[in-house]
Structures are given as structure tokens and as C-alpha cells.
Structure 1
């Protein structure tokens, strides 16, 4: 879940996605806008050409003595001479018959529907433009006007142009426009990605600096950071300093409390020398139990004060090897086998606490073993930073002793519970191990061992890399 959230909340992906979506939207809007403006300009230019040809036609036609239209028309485009080209011109007399009509050679026998002035009115200059379809099905645009010629003759003049030519020109322009803008958009995505990755590179430096802090290489966030990240680095350093002050203050208070309680307990133990044996034994046992209880809760307070510290590290292999050597010297008749994984990770715990709980378990195993104790450390498969919970490493301590019935495994972890009064002890050892492991968000439980005796499974938090 944490990894999925990290992917979903990637700053690089978020910025790149927003930049890409914005670039695509902007390019689409720009493409549509430019294409529309080009079409409007193309159609306006097309109408201006038609209008120029229309007045060229008017200037080329006159009324003869017989009242018929005549003249030599040259509009400068061979399309007016080619049949079915979509380029036509027509000059006729209003209210005249078909004999009072001049047409371009391209017209042939084609007919063009002319809408009434009511459907498409003339403008203030007595001109109008309208789309229509000739008898061969070509879409054309007509420029039309009516002029009073010599002798009061009213003539109608029309010049047409092919709508397909305009559409083809706009389509070709739009195709090139979309192609170039598409290439520009793809290039922009790569440039944006490079700019974003380059701009976020200082965050990688911050990440490496934080990793150095977690691994104990340094105690402060140091480096050359951009102006925007400097306040963040300062706040992180302030947080680390505050955390260190809290730890030191807690340790000092623990030391002061331990020192203040040491004398009263020592006085009680000293007073037992002048008491009757029965009373002395009772007071002495209770005083020592109180001493252990006080030390236990002082340790819990110390752990609570520093368990979230970023700088707490303990070398697992070093502690286990040292404790195993000590146990071999103290128990020469017992075989101690130690199996460590290659590159055993560090524990995110205070070394004193690791030594106390492991020493407790090794002493207990040696006490009950018939001749063999096995210590095995099992590292987690993946150790990564960024998750909400630290990975745990299992440490297994097995003995070949008599073991313990299943129904007594949980009972043995209760404070002060001694299941065998023949062995020395206060019954606090296993409960202390369980409570210290719990304080570090770890776990401890007893199981049946493959050696035939008891297995102590200790799960402790690993320092992330």
C-alpha cells in the first residue's frame, strides 16, 4: 500500500502529467484556432478573387446597337475555357431570354440554380455571394451583381469558383499544421520531462543526505541546495537537533532517577543485615525485586524517548558474535552454534537493549539445554526506506532441553511467572524481553524447537538503508 501511494503521489509523474495534458490541450486549441483562421482568410481571399473577376467581366461586356450583350472576356484563368472545371462566368439581361446571354466556354450546357433575392439578399453594394451546385454536382460559390448598362439595359453578371479548391487548400494546410504541431508536441513532452527531471535533481541530493543520516554516516542534512530547498533542509536539521535534545534529556532524567533510587534501595538492603533471617530474606528479596522493577521501567522510559531516533543503530553480527563467545566461556559443556546471513542488517535499536534481551535469552537457553544451543538470524527479503513500518528480522534461539508444554508457552511470558521453582531466577527475564521488543514495535514468542527443546523467536526492527 505504501509503495502504491508513493507511485500515485510521484511529484515527477504529477508535474509531467499536468505539463503534458496542458501541452496537448494548448496544441489542440492552437491547431483548431489557426485552422479556422486560415479557412476564414482563404474563403475571404477566394471571394475577393471572385469579386475581382466579376468586375473584370463587367468591364469586358457591353450592349450593342441591336440591344444584345457582346464583348471579349479574358479573366486570366484557363479554367474558364475547360468544360466542367467549376469556373464559369455568365452575363445576361434581366428579364431577357436565353438569346440575350453570354457564357464562358466551360459552361457548355450546364445549368446553375439561382436563388431569389428574398432568399439571399444583395448587400449595400448590390453584391451577393452564395453556394450552389451545378448540374454536374460540383459545389461552387457564385459572386453576383446587377449593373445598368448603356441605354438603361439592366444586366446580371455571375462568376463562379470551385469550393473544392478552397477545401483542398485548407485541408492541405491543416494536415501540415497538425503534423508540425504534433512533432512540436512530442518534442515538448521530452523537453518538459528533461526540464522537470533536471529541476528535481536537488531532491535526489536531499534523499541521499537523508540516507546518510539514517545509516549513521552523518548527523545533519548537509550539501549545496537550491534556494527553495534550503528552508526544508534547515527544518530537517532543526528536527534532528530537537530529537537529539529529547533523547539526551530523557537519558539524563533516567540517570538522575536511577541515582536517586540507588541509595534508598542500598539502605534497605544494608538494613537486612541486622534483621532476623526470615525477615532479612523477605526484605532482601523484595528490595532486589524492586531494584529490578525500577531498572526495568527506567529502561522502558529510555526506550520510549529514543525509539524513533533516526540515529539509533546496532550491528547485529557484532553483538551476536560477542555474546556467543561469552556464553561459550561461561558454559564450556554446552555447544553454541551461530548462523548469520551474509551482510546481516543493522537493528534500529539501542545496543544496550539488544544485548540485554539477547543475553537474557541465551542465559535461559544455556540454563535449560542438555548440551546444545543454536542461534540463527533470518534477515527480511527486502529492506527499503519510505514504508510506514520498519521490516523485522527474526532471531531464533533453540535449545535441546526438556522444552515446555504448548499450554504453558504464553504463560511463561507473564511478569514474575516461574514455571519451575527448582531453577534460580525472579521470573522477570522473559517478560522483560517481550516488553522491550514490544517497545521497539517488535515481537517475541516461544515455540517448540526442532532440537526438541524450546525456541525463542525474537522479531526486531531493521534499520532501513
Structure 2
């Protein structure tokens, strides 16, 4: 009888273990399913935020549970507020630029009527005021990269800048080549990209003898972040080695005989290095001129 009892107890224990194991597995599956179902709205929020960041939509549009609505409504309010604040800021800068430029233009015209002994001094001070206004307006207009920056297609912006440069320097018959890889993007504000391209392109065309080349591509650097590598080459006289460290300082020009304000490269350096945390490198181009490469 004892053997039968032991066998019965052993069979019961074995059956109990199977049932308890099955119940535990079932509870684990149920718990996993519940977690997946409960976290689904949060995954949807993350997906929509990625779509906002990529520029595919302007705000969160999903139908969320009551518990998450305060979060999604606050996020949408933050997005609207940020865009409105940036728009007001840029409009204010445009108004400031207009209000300052007009009086300076009047002063510049009036200075031409002054006697020779005063005209040079007054014109020089007006030019310095105008240069300072240009420099600080360009600095202030820099927006920088934000988590919600929309990727900007680089090739159309390069094409627009090149078209403008060809009009400005049409009497020079410069050859401006574009070598931009397909789908190259800039993660930042379009205005910042235009300022970088415009300043570097204008500087290259100013010094080039016959040819300017603009290259752009995306790379993934050691910090795992995708950056834009933009390089502009010219076949001009080049920047002397002793000036490469200082030519990006405000007011410094490689040749004072060439017209310019000496602020273009300074603005680009501050924008690339200080605002975007990138780097700017100056070297000798294959054509004997200057190659300026920025990683931003």
C-alpha cells in the first residue's frame, strides 16, 4: 500500500508540476500581451514624433486614450509655440534689418556731398557700421539644429545658390561645377544651410580665376550622428599658410584689395563650430587655390 501511495503522490506531483508550469507560461504570455497592448499608444507617440522630426507631419494626429491626451496635447502645443516663436523672431530680424539698412543707405549717399576732408572719415565709419550690422544680423539669424529639425535636401539649395552666383559674377564667365550625391540632406534650418553655401560660394567665386566646384555628401561620424560634408574648391591664388588660422576671424581678409567685409567666413565658422558643433578646415585645392570643407 505504501508503494501505491508513493506512486500516486509522485504522479500527482508530476501532474501538478505540468499544470503549474503551463499556468505560469500562460500567465507570462497574458502579461506580455497586456504590456504590448498597454504600451501600444506610447509606441504610436514615438512613431509620430519621428514623423514630425522627419518632416512628414506637423503634429501628433493619432486618437489616443484619455490618459495620454494631456501629454499629446501639450506636445502639440509646444510644437505650435516653437514654430510661432521662430516665425516672430525671423520677422523681427527682417524688420530690424530693413530699419537699419535704410538710414545707413541715406547716410552713405549724403556722405558723398561732404567736403573731401570729411568724406573719407564719414564713409569709413558708415561702412564699419554697415559691416557690424550685417555680421550681427547673420549671427542672430542662425537657428541651429533642434530635435525637430526637418531634413533639408541639399542639391536644390546648391542649385539655387549657384544660379544666383552665376548672375552676380556673369562678367567673369566662371565655371561652377556641382557634385552633390543624391538624397544628401542637411539636418538643420534651411536658412542656416543657405548662409553657409552663400558665404562660402561667394568667397570662392570672388577669388577663383576660372573654376569653382561645390561638393556635398552625408557621412556617419564616430559619434554615430549623420553629418553633412560640404566642400568648396576654387582655382584662385589660395590662402597663405600663415593666414589660415586667422582668416575666419571677423574683419580679417586675405587681401585688402579685394572688395568685401571680412565677415563671411567668420559667420560660417561660428555657425559650423559653435552652433552645430562641427568643424571647418582650410587647405590647398587640387587647382592650386583654396579648399574649404565643413562638417556640420
2:156 maps to which residue?
318
Cα distance in 2, alignment partners of residues 270 and 371 from structure 1: 35
Aligned counterpart, 2:253:
418
- Greater fraction of residues in helix: 2
Q: Which of 83, 88, 104 is the matching residue for 1:244?
A: 83
Name the structure 2 match of 1:428: 263
Deviations 1:27-81 (A, max 9, x none): xxxxxxxxxxxxxxxxxxxxxxxxxxxxxxxxxxxxxxxxxxxxxxxxxxxxxxx
**CA offset at residue 377 of structure 1?**
0.7
Deviations 1:405-437 (A, max 9, x none): 433211111111122223222221211211233
User: How far, CA to CA, are the matches of 1:224 and 1:311 in structure 2?
Assistant: 24
Which residue of structure 2 aligns with residue 456 of structure 1? 292
Give, in whole Å, the separation in 1 of the partners of 2:10 and 2:116: 113
Q: Tell me which residue corresponds to 2:132.
A: 293
Q: How does 1:75-90 map to 2 (within 5 A)?
A: none
The reply on whether 1:407 has 2:245 as its aligned counterpart is no
Partner of 1:281: 120
Aligned residue for 2:142, secondary structure, equals helix
3-state secondary structure, aligned to 2:66: coil
Deviation at 1:289, TM superposition (A): 2.7
Contact 1:336-1:374 at 8 Å conserved across structures: yes
Farther off after superposition, 357-366 or 234-243: 357-366
What secondary structure sits across from 2:112 in the alignment?
helix
Shift of 1:210: 1.9
Match for 1:218 among 47, 57, 75?
A: 57
TM-score when scaled to structure 1?
Answer: 0.56
The residue number in structure 2 matching 1:110 is: none
CA distance in 2, matches of 1:263, 1:451: 41
Instruction: State the structure with bigger RCO (CA 8 A, min sep 6), 1 or 2.
Output: 2
Per-residue CA distance 1:80-124 (angstroms, 9 max, x = gap): xxxxxxxxxxxxxxxxxxxxxxxxxxxxxxxxxxxxxxxxxxxxx
Is structure 2 residue 25 aligned with structure 1 residue 189? no
Structure-2 residue corresponding to 1:369 = 208
Aligned-pair CA distance for 1:185: 2.4
1:278, distance to aligned residue in structure 2 (A): 4.8
* RMSD (CA atoms): 2.8
What displacement does 1:267 show? 4.0
**Structure 1 segments (4+ residues) deviating >6 Å:** none
Aligned to 1:327: 165
Partner SS for 2:15: helix
Structure 1 alignment gaps of length 5 or more: 1-160, 461-465
Question: What CA distance in whole angstroms lies between the structure 2 residues aligned with 1:362 and 1:229?
Answer: 49
Preserved contact between residue 349 and residue 440 of structure 1 (Cα < 8 Å): no
Which residue of the partner structure matches residue 203 of structure 1?
A: 42
Which of 180, 192, 196 is 1:340 aligned to?
180
When residues 283 and 191 of structure 1 are mapped into structure 2, their CA distance, relative to the original with a 3 A threshold, is same
Give how far 1:266 is off.
3.3
Structure 1 residues 258 and 395, CA gap change in structure 2 (3 angstroms): same
Correspondence for 1:359:
198
Q: What's 2:233 paired with?
A: 398
Match of 2:280 among 417, 430, 444: 444
SS at structure 2 position matched to 1:457: strand
Counterparts of 1:288 and 1:309 in 2: how far apart (Å)? Answer: 39
Asked if structure 2 preserves the Cα contact closer than 8 Å seen for 1:316 and 1:347, the reply is: no
Alpha-carbon distance change, 442 to 279 in structure 1, aligned in 2, over 3 angstroms: farther
